[in-house]
Amino acid sequence: MAHAIRVVALGNDGDGIAQTPEGRIFVSGTVPGDEIVLAAHDGTRGTLDHVVIPGADRVPAPCHLFGTCGGCRIQDMALRALLDWKTGRVVESLQHVGFDAIPAPQAHQVSPHGRRRVDLAFRRVGKQIMLGLHRRRGDVVDMRECTLLDPTLFALLTPLRALLHSLPAVHAGGDIQINLLDSGPDLLITMDGTPDANDRRILAQFGKAHGIPRISLQGRPPETLALTGPVFHHFDDVRVVPPPGAFLQPARAGEAFIKAAVLAGLPRKGLKAGIIELYAGCGTLSFALAEHAKVHAYEGDRAALACLKQASGGTRVLPALRDLNRQPVMATDLAKAAAIVLDPPHAGAGAQIAQIVAGKPPRIIYVSCNPVALQRDLTPLRHAGYQLDSVTVIDQFLWSAEVESVCVLTLPGAHRRNRR
């Protein structure tokens, strides 16, 4: 009879870690505290047979597709425990950086059914369209329920299946990205055929019928296939026209938590020197920052920069195109700012960090979506003398291993007029 083993922790990708005499084994579908029996293992990864005794934080998964659909990794763990685990991941990264003191984090979690951005795949299977996410290392799972998506987006999936089935340009399948903008859903489609006038007519009719002002075809740049109304979104009170496939924070509440933490981290005095914002995107943070000071906003994506520039008239946002990894903002410019706000991609800030270290601006507000990159980027800042003033953790990717954080760092003794 197989012996039960105990899951003692979660790994960084959300799989449970069971400690055995032979070493650690990663087992998906388990949570800390579970006593489990394995069906098989290869020495490092195991397949769960059954749970003998559930851990204190184990809960029934709220979605019947859990374990099949690739969208959620940790639905069998209580949300409060999941937030604690994500907070612990961020704190552990900061501990590895070596800060003398780590402030108690503020932690926030969005609610289910709040996801307003999704990337889906679709495949023709017989006379049906399968539309959903890929199972782990597998085929597309038809998304007939979802605890993540905003109800407006989920309600769109059924008519989308019919639309995709009717399009002559869809042969075997493709992909579709949906952003829920203030003007309605915004669709960016990849097809395995070339859309003709008939496809465009079908798409325009679909857009009018379902309140979708723009449907675009993936490309460099994307091509608008159907435009049936104005496309717009608001950051604070500023109306922007995001390009197809624009980056949005996945949940409105998550964006609000991030923005609040960033604004709370600004110095109370000395902002006449202005703010330098790196990786500004379409202006998620830019216009809120501009309520407090002049903002030099740098962005490397041309489409996002064009959106930001078009909307910045009459504001204190000064957009500039800059590939920050190839051409970082230099230390001499960074040194003059009252604060640096950066929201880098998943891989981190790269070459820009060395210039920040050299410039020694008095305050840095770092928005992170990756604790590993956060640790790597903050380590040279800590060596340069920066101290950690506050930490905010945001769980807006529910039931996944992804976590956002906002860290505020100050340099003791630097430009005391800019200190709180």
Q: What is the pLDDT of residues 317-344, one digit of tens each?
A: 999 999 999 999 999 999 999 999 999 9
93-120 average pLDDT score: 96
DSSP per-residue letters across 285-318:
THHHHTTTS-EEEEES-HHHHHHHHHH-TTSSEE
At the topology level, CATH places domain 80-110+251-418 in Rossmann fold (3.40.50)
Q: Please state the residue numbers annotated as binding site for S-adenosyl-L-methionine.
A: 249, 279, 299, 343
Return all residues near 146 (Cβ < 8 A) that are at least 6 apart. 63, 65, 71, 154
The tens digit of pLDDT for each residue in 351-397 reads 999 999 999 999 999 999 999 999 999 999 999 999 999 999 999 99
Q: Above 60 in pLDDT, residue 415?
A: no
CB atoms within 10 A of CB 314: 7
The tens digit of pLDDT for each residue in 194-220 reads 999 999 999 999 999 999 999 999 999
Tell me which of 69, 282, 369, 407 is the catalytic residue.
369
Q: Above 60 in pLDDT, residue 274?
A: yes
At the topology level, CATH places domain 117-240 in OB fold (Dihydrolipoamide Acetyltransferase, E2P) (2.40.50)
Q: Please state the residue numbers annotated as binding site.
A: 249, 279, 299, 343
The tens digit of pLDDT for each residue in 357-366 reads 999 999 999 9
Domain 80-110+251-418 and domain 117-240, same fold? Reply is: no
Please report which confidence band the pLDDT of residue 419 belongs to, taking 50, 70 and 90 as the band edges: very low
Structure confidence at residue 137 (pLDDT): 66
| Cis peptide bond prior to 221, omega within 30° of 0 | yes
Parse the chain into domains and list their residue ranges. Answer: 5-58, 80-110+251-418, 117-240
- Homologous superfamily of domain range 5-58: Nucleic acid-binding proteins (2.40.50.140)
Q: Above 90 in pLDDT, residue 399?
A: yes
User: Which tokens sit at 253?
Assistant: 């509440």
Task: Tell me, yes or no, if 369 is annotated catalytic.
Answer: yes
Angstrom distances, CA of residue 374 to CA of 10, 89, 100, 158, 350: 20, 11, 17, 40, 11
pTM over 0.85: yes
Give the DSSP H/E element, type plus range, for residue 253: helix 252-264
The tens digit of pLDDT for each residue in 35-84 reads 999 998 888 999 999 999 999 999 999 999 998 888 899 999 999 999 99
Kindly give the residue spans of alpha helices, DSSP state H, lying in 59-196: 79-97, 151-166
- Please state, for a pLDDT cut of 90, what percent of the chain lies above it: 90
Least confident of 25-34, 39-48, 124-133, 376-385: 39-48
Give the DSSP H/E element, type plus range, for residue 383: helix 371-383
